[in-house]
Amino acid sequence: MKILNNLNDFNQILSELLKNREKIGLVPTMGSIHEGHLSLLKKSKKLNYYSIVTIFVNPTQFNDLEDYNNYPKNEDRDIKVLKDNKCDLLFLPNVKDIYPEKVEINKNIDDFRDILCDRCRPGHFDGVVTVVDLLFKLIKPNAVFFGEKDFQQLKIIERYIKNNNLPILFYSCSSIRMSNGMSYSSRYNQFTNDDKKIFDKTSQLIYQHIRILNKNFNPKVIDNLVGELSKLGIKKIDYFEVREESNLKISKNKNNSRLFVAFYINKVRVIDNFILY
């Protein structure tokens, strides 16, 4: 695996790849690599792409400076795990590589907005689209891979590619789940032992109520679930909503729908979604 943290070195390698007409698959990450990230890499490798993983904690998608500064980082472990999983190239750009002039956000897509995480984290998705577009311009991938845990992000990036007629294949990859049934997330490295116990109990409650929803779809089930979570000491809940996959509109049944959740266990934000059909 090639490891590059210098833009000039990266451009030299990229020039050779393009000259040799290599198909490039991009897996953009913010590091603290987990099984979810690795599933994207494995998908890229399986499809015979020259697989590039980027690690860049993007300042423009954080609306909380403390959250940005405390985002979990473990570069040595990330390098080992990516090597073990046969990543072709790891690119670790710095802020100047991505934002050479100044750190600036472009507000460039209006679809799937003002709901879910966009409502709770103003400006977040503008920052996400900005950095992904800059990575596209730097790396010139033939394909990009995103996980379904961040489903709203996935929909926004997919629409951005389509709206701008970018020659990039978009691969949506199923969430990889932990033993308790929740999707992997880098943020969970910040859990204390007590947090983990609450997290496991929360997962049990979510799946109990999903089973009820599957038998008899009733919005009151969601209200009951939120009430049960408050008893566990979960004080901040951003949303628990059932929405249609295609347009992310509120759903009145479980057909082609998912339960979308976002809440905090102490300072750690948990987001996930669950297929209901």
Report the sign of the C-alpha dihedral through residues 46, 47, 52, 56, in that order.
Answer: negative
Angle between helices 7-19 and 124-139 (to 10 degrees): 60
Q: What is the dihedral of CA 58, 60, 62, 63, to 10 degrees?
A: 170
Please name every residue paired with 226 in a beta bridge, in sequence order, or none if there are none.
none
The reply to whether 34 belongs to the active site is no
What is the pairing mode between strands 257-265 and 143-147? unpaired
Alpha carbon 257 to its chain centroid, in Å, reads 19
Number of CB atoms found within 10 A of residue 12's CB: 12
- Of the residues 34, 37, 124, 209, which is catalytic? 37
- CA angle, corner 129, sides to 125 and 133, nearest 5? 170
DSSP state of 263: E
Measured CA to CA, the distance from residue 51 to residue 149 in angstroms comes to: 21
Position 248: which residue type?
L
Instruction: Answer yes or no: are the C-beta atoms of 145 and 25 closer than 8 Å.
Output: yes
Q: Where are the beta strands (DSSP E) in the chain?
A: 2-4, 24-29, 50-55, 89-91, 143-147, 169-173, 237-244, 257-265, 268-275
Enzyme catalytic residues: 37
